[in-house]
Copies of this chain bind each other. A is one copy, B any other.
Amino acid sequence: MAPLKYSKQREAILDFLKTRKDHPTADMVYNSLRPDFPNLSLGTVYRNLALLADLGEILRLRVGDGTDHFDADVSPHYHFICSECGSVIDLEMGNIDEIEDIAGMNFDGQICGHVTYFYGKCGACCKSSMS
């Protein structure tokens, strides 16, 4: 559908995301890449993030803070969002796909996916608030 041509901006955006585990926003990507691409435009960042997400090369996380976060780790895993500092952290946890079966029991449609975010206070915030 889309013959897709190479662009060094897109490559840089994907490479950058792969180096990060903190799930940056479009703006963070933009600002981090500006030193290397002085006339990079925010529009290009948004366009490529959307494209990469559509291709399944990255994940778009709608964590509920108003701005989308992105993750180059597309393997199935879950995220935790700290209610204090807002950081988005990967969770290493067992499979919970059975919740789809539970959800589908009294439902007359097809469930083929779910999105789950966990909330609370992260380790760092727990420590720093030992008041």
Residues of B within 8 A of A115 (CB): 64, 116-117, 119
Interface residue tally for chain A (C-beta within 8 Å): 37
Residue of B nearest to A84 (CB): B109
The docked-state distance in angstroms from the alpha carbon of A122 to that of B96 is: 22
> Taking A114-B116, A116-B114, A117-B114 as contacts, is the C-beta distance between A109 and B122 under 8 angstroms?
yes
Instruction: Determine how many copies of this chain the complex contains.
Output: 2
Whether B91 and A106, one on each chain, are in contact in the complex, defined by CB atoms closer than 8 angstroms, is yes
Q: List 14 A-B contacts (CB under 8 A).
A: A62-B64, A64-B115, A78-B103, A80-B103, A89-B109, A110-B120, A111-B120, A112-B119, A113-B120, A114-B116, A114-B118, A115-B119, A116-B116, A116-B117
